[in-house]
Amino acid sequence: MNAGENYIVRPQMQLADFTRRGQGMDGQGLRQIKKCLRTLHNLELMAKTIYAFQMTRKKDDLNLQLIAAMANEMTHYQDFQIKLYEYGFRPYKFRWVWWFVGLFFGLGSRLLGRRMILKTGIWVEKKAVHHYGELLKADWDDETRKVIEKDRHDEEIHIRHWEAFLQE
């Protein structure tokens, strides 16, 4: 997320990247996949909303980093929405609740200042890394597992960036 760093915020996708998933899986396995994908989708909605509400009108490095982080979280949100549909599922009907949670944390931390914005970012990303770790235990197909692992790695990068900003 630093200007000189080679970090892909929004990976490119090809039409061949989309496929129908879950054929031949048993009902229990599909229920677990559905629950995990909905969880990830909801948490990424919350994360992108937090970053959106943490931004101020200042034209500084922190706001630029928040924009990049929000864009990256939007990509994660899309990743899991796509996977939900590829498996034949729909997003959670009450996902708007997670939007409000993001509003609360984003606006609340913004009102408390730069340090709280950064601490909130670190806290949220650490929670995300933990959730990704737990959800990686599910029986994923190889392509979906790669997406989840990549998104988890992105969250680890976010933690390092926010910690570096906090040290400044």
Q: Where are the domains of the chain?
A: 27-167
The residues, any chain, with a CB within 8 Å of residue 16's CB and separated by 6 or more, are none
| Predicted confidence band of residue 6 (pLDDT cuts 50, 70, 90) | low
The model's pLDDT over 86-101, given as tens digits with 9 standing for 90+, comes to 999 999 999 999 999 9
Model pLDDT, residue 4: 44
CATH architecture of 27-167: Up-down Bundle (1.20)
The pLDDT-based confidence of 5 (bands split at 50, 70, 90) is low
Give the chain's mean pLDDT: 92
**Four-point Cα dihedral 31, 34, 39, 42, nearest 10:** -140
pTM beyond 0.95: the answer is no
Residue 3 pLDDT? 43
